Amino acid sequence: MPDTLDIEHELYPTPAQRARLERQRQVAADVWRALSARPGLGRDRLRAVAGQVGWTDDLAGATLDDLAAAFGRAACAGPLPAGPPDVLRVAARPLSDHAVELGGLETPVAAPLFLLPHAARHAAAQWQAQFLGRLHAEQTELTRLAVLGDAAADARLLGHLARWDAPPAPPLPAPPCPVVRLTLLERPRLRWGPDPRLIWTFRVEDIAPPRQAGLIAADPGMRRLWTLRSARGVTRYDNPMPGRWRPPQAAAPPGTLRRRWDLDAARLRRQALLVTTCLRPVHDAALRELLDHPELAVEDLNLRGFERVRADYLAWAGWSGALIQHRYLLDVARLSRRLVVVPAHAGATRTCARCLTPRGVRFRGRQGRCRACGAALDRDDNAAENLYRLGQAGLR
């Protein structure tokens, strides 16, 4: 199965790292303008021009080649954009559940890799184990040669130890996902901007066949993480964290933190602890049940609509990883299942599932009543019933 899928997550750079990333984006724009002035440059000449505008060696490989390829595609497609695309390949490594290494930055960047779905996190952990194994083998060989008097190996050993004397410990090995098997490919991309994001590409090695028959519909949420509707009825996956766990969150009491970076590190580790122990088991169980069916109906994400009326859900979905889980489900289902993506404007939440009156239900909190037939309805159950009905219609 040669298909691939992308998973995108936030980065939490320090102010100095953010300034460095912005500098990289500016240099990319300078190279783009140089290409516009002298199209058709060869690869070696392109690198020379890039060096003149400040391109660094550790970023030149993957990003410069991707920039040149993007320029070639844009030049062939029509009017040339004024600047480079916002997403370009970078040199990046997943160092741990909490940090990544980015080319051009001297220190690791905090990142919530613990939000990756089960199969992706397992693939990242396998990559980390292989990477650290290569580091150990290289150090062992350099040590052997240095002991024998090899001056070049001794110099390389010194550089190796300076960078990797205490490499980050890999996360605890996660058991393989029983449904999806992925491999992390070494071609990450960076989405530059005020809130930079890293995009990992995974090769899909295998997706287990479904064990159940028929359609299942899924309504994701905040107070209830998932409400599923199938021929067997409704299954509810409640949120085990009923508190207001979404940004901004409380800081530690004054005087308990000695250094400024302690607060940022503590917030990230608190997020990892709560997501890993409370939310991930629920998401994993829900996704296993969903992918156990050959047909899925899922509501599309209307982020602009959420920004207007449900900003609290957007904050929660980003912090908890729910957006990543939702997009991952759609990507896997597109590759292996019959999928109906129900548009948000279909009104699954407010259409009465009993009498099908559009926008007929008025809710107070989680409970509502239909103005047409008088039925008392749970918000999530009503949405799941409508998604199930719309999914059946979409599969006909």
What does the pLDDT look like over 169-226, one tens digit per residue? 555 566 788 899 999 998 899 998 888 999 999 999 999 999 999 999 999 988 889 9
What does the pLDDT look like over 135-157, one tens digit per residue? 888 888 989 999 998 999 898 88
382, pLDDT greater than 60: yes
In the predicted model, what is the mean pLDDT of residues 272-294? 94
Centroid of chain to Cα 242: 24
237, pLDDT greater than 60: yes
Does the reported pTM lie above 0.85?
A: yes
pLDDT at position 253, please? 59
pLDDT at position 213, please? 93
258, pLDDT greater than 90: no
pLDDT at position 354, please? 93
What does the pLDDT look like over 364-379, one tens digit per residue? 888 999 999 999 999 9
More reliable by pLDDT, 283 or 50: 283
Pairing assessment for the beta strands 338-342 and 295-299 based on DSSP bridges: parallel
Give dist(CA 63, CA 25) in Å, integer: 11
392, pLDDT greater than 90: yes
Sign for the CA dihedral angle at 77, 80, 84, 90 comes to positive
> Looking at residue 205, what DSSP letter applies?
E
Q: Which two tokens stand for residue 274?
A: 């709560």
Give dist(CA 271, CA 99) in Å, integer: 13
pLDDT at position 103, please? 84
User: Roughly how many angstroms between the first and final C-alpha of the chain, as a whole number?
Assistant: 27
